Amino acid sequence: MTPGTDTAPPIRVPGSGVIARLACGVVQPLLSRTVRRIAARHPQLFARLGPHQRTDFLIDPVDLPFALHLRPDPAALIFRAVPRDAAPRAGAVIRGRFLLLLELMDSEEDGDAAFFSRDLEVSGDTEAVVRLRNALDDVDGSIAEEAAAMFGVPGRAVLARLRRAYSHDYERKTA
Amino acid sequence: MSLAELICPAGTPAALRTAVDAGADAVYCGFQDATNARNFPGLNFTPDELAEAVAYAHARATKVLLALNTYPPAGKVDLWRHAADTGARLGVDAFIVADMGVADYIARTHPQMRLHLSVQAAASSPEAIRYYCESFGVKRVVLPRILTIPEIRQIRGEIPCEIETFIFGNHGLMVEGRCSLTNYLTGQSTNMDGVCSPAEQVDYARHADGSMSSRLAGFTIDCFGPEEKAGYPTICKGRYTAPHRPEGYYAFEEPVSLNLSRLLPELIEAGVHAFKIEGRQRSKSYVRGVVRAFRQAVDDIRAGREANIADLVALTEGQKQTQGAFETKKWR
């Protein structure tokens, strides 16, 4: 585990505790399978990460009941859902709405613009975050669509539903 | 009428393909080292990646310009010479240079290669620009962002090379290629190491009231209120307190981006040959959005139509934009 530097208090959302643990249990098998396949298809990702292949990233979609722990080490890849109250001490933390993080991963949104607007928060090792951003940005196409396609028609339907649900949820809250 | 070429940024091979597909006339990029002024972690091209990028761009009639626009420290010129040799071997269409030694090496060793003078050279007078043209065969100058359009028109009539101006993106008005602010705090040089505010020395802290501090090398350079838009963590855009300004103020510049979309016809009429979009450090999303918007605008102007450019303010620093000195010297 890399030394932690995130000092920002986590944003409290409904669904911590039992619900978070149940949600993590449901999505975890899918996450593990997905990240291994994506890594195998895009090996160039790892070169851009350089020394931060072994950094622990906490990716925190504030409107989901859990956070995500990523350690992009090609020799021992970790991508797992974690309840916020059991999250590892991370070297870098990336925090924002689920849909925004999804769109940033796919370069549908610009990370600098999301940072300027304060919709995206980063803390901890800034170089690690910059490297991860640049590594993901060098992938052609949509990682989310690619991941969904691994599960066929149901996978694509779930992704479409997630996009709609979290888009509408955000619009409702900001209206 | 000038050709109004659109010169677009690429920090990764995927961004280069995005820029080409979005309508760039030329794409500029750099190697993963100190030879260019965007030497950021995880960014830029390996020689193999550049070879593939050149092939992709040339197959679509797009040029590739290689930025070698930093200054070699005394006695350490080999990295720049090797980069120039590699770029020439890979068939890039031009080098963007700032240092006279680098320009001289390319002019002597690769005389067939086209040289563009980087904004980092800060050449803003006809005398300075003519010197680079006559001494090294420079074919194009990228003008510093400190000139009005009438001044650009006047310079155009007094120099033997093409003019390129920035039209969108990060707006830094320090004397370009001479700024030592980052060096002062971090020991790394924007001009020789290619890093302005190196990421490994930047950190952000969110406070309980929702405000956020940005720090460089442990020095707080700004604190944004809970609802306030943020800017880059660069010293020149920082906000500082002083005995006479206890509330905090922008001592050098403000976080704001250049956007000359409304001035494109006047720039073309003034003889500007190429329009440059800043942002090799930005995402494919930025490249796609900005290049498409300006491609449409330039095509409209060339066809005699009024350009109706998309709103790009969401992509600007601090979500604020300016026409800067291009509109008036009194802009700040």
Q: Could you state, in chain order, the average pLDDT of each consecutive group of 10 residues for chain A (175 residues)?
A: 44 65 87 90 94 97 94 94 93 96 94 94 97 96 90 89 79 60
Q: Which pLDDT does position B51 carry in this prediction?
A: 98
Burial annotation A125-154 (CB, 10 A radius, 16+ → b, else e):
bbbbbbbbbbbbbbbeebbbebbbeeeeee
Structure tokens at B158: 């007094």
Pick from B240-254, B275-289, B303-317: least confident: B303-317
How does pLDDT run across B184-212, given as a tens digit for each residue? 999 999 999 999 999 999 999 999 999 99
Q: Do residue A8 and residue B229 have CB atoms under 8 angstroms apart?
A: no
B229 closest CB neighbour out of A5, A117, A130: A117
A116 closest CB neighbour out of B14, B40, B318: B318
Q: A11 touching B, CB under 8 A?
A: no
Scanning every residue of chain B, which has its alpha carbon at the shortest distance from the alpha carbon of A9? B208
Distance CA B121, CA A86 (A): 52
Rounded to a whole number, what is the distance in Å from the CA of A26 to chain B's nearest CA?
A: 32
Q: What would the mean pLDDT of B251-280 be, rounded to a whole number?
A: 94
Q: Which pLDDT does position A174 carry in this prediction?
A: 57
Q: Do residue A137 and residue B208 have CB atoms under 8 angstroms apart?
A: no
Distance CA B10, CA B31 (A): 11
* Chain A hits for B198, Cβ within 8 Å: 127
Q: A5 touching B, CB under 8 A?
A: yes
Q: Do residue A117 and residue B208 have CB atoms under 8 angstroms apart?
A: no
Which is more confident, B275 or B254?
Answer: B275
Q: Do residue A110 and residue B42 have CB atoms under 8 angstroms apart?
A: no
Q: Which pLDDT does position B76 carry in this prediction?
A: 93
Q: A111 touching B, CB under 8 A?
A: yes
Please list the helix, strand and coil fractions of chain B in percent, rounded to the nearest 5, in that order: 35, 20, 45
Q: Do residue B40 and residue A123 have CB atoms under 8 angstroms apart?
A: no
Which is more confident, B293 or B176?
Answer: B293
Q: Which pLDDT does position B52 carry in this prediction?
A: 98
**Helix locations, chain A, DSSP H:** 18-41, 44-49, 98-105, 111-116, 126-137, 143-149, 152-174
A127 closest CB neighbour out of B199, B206, B316: B199
Interface of A with B in 39-78 (CB under 8 A): 48-50
Packing angle between helix B126-136 and helix B100-109, nearest 10 degrees? 30
Q: Which pLDDT does position A2 carry in this prediction?
A: 41
**Is residue B115's pLDDT more than 60?**
yes
B282 closest CB neighbour out of A7, A110, A138: A110
What's the one-letter identity of residue B213?
S
Q: Do residue B282 and residue A8 have CB atoms under 8 angstroms apart?
A: no
Q: B316 touching A, CB under 8 A?
A: yes
* Chain B hits for A43, Cβ within 8 Å: none
Q: Do residue B199 and residue A126 have CB atoms under 8 angstroms apart?
A: yes
Pick from A33-37, A59-63, B273-277, B291-295: least confident: A33-37
Q: Which residues contact B259 (CB under 8 A, 6 or more apart)?
A: B167, B168, B312, B313, B316, B321, B322, B323
Q: Which CATH superfamily is domain A16-142 in?
A: SCP2 sterol-binding domain (3.30.1050.10)
Q: A99 touching B, CB under 8 A?
A: no
**Is residue B158's pLDDT more than 50?**
yes
Q: Which pLDDT does position A162 carry in this prediction?
A: 86
Q: A8 touching B, CB under 8 A?
A: yes
What's the one-letter identity of residue B65?
L
Distance CA B292, CA B119 (A): 24
* Chain A hits for B282, Cβ within 8 Å: 110, 112
Which is more confident, B202 or B177?
Answer: B202
Q: Do residue B284 and residue A116 have CB atoms under 8 angstroms apart?
A: no
Size of interface A-B (CB pairs under 8 A): 109
- Its sign, for the CA torsion B45, B47, B48, B53, is positive
Q: Which pLDDT does position A170 carry in this prediction?
A: 62
Q: Which pLDDT does position A25 carry in this prediction?
A: 87
Q: Which pLDDT does position B307 carry in this prediction?
A: 83
Rounded to a whole number, what is the distance in Å from the CA of A113 to chain B's nearest CA?
A: 5
pLDDT confidence bin for B313, thresholds 50/70/90:
confident
**Is residue B330's pLDDT more than 80?**
no
* Chain A hits for B43, Cβ within 8 Å: 130, 134
Q: Which pLDDT does position A5 carry in this prediction?
A: 44
* Chain A hits for B228, Cβ within 8 Å: 118
* Chain A hits for B208, Cβ within 8 Å: 9
How large a percentage of chain B has pLDDT more than 90? Answer: 84
Which 8-state DSSP code applies to residue B311? Answer: P
Interface of B with A in 146-205 (CB under 8 A): 198-200, 202-205
A130 closest CB neighbour out of B42, B206, B229: B42
Q: Which pLDDT does position B253 carry in this prediction?
A: 87
Rounded to a whole number, what is the distance in Å from the CA of A25 to chain B's nearest CA?
A: 30
Task: Write down the pTM of the prediction.
Answer: 0.93
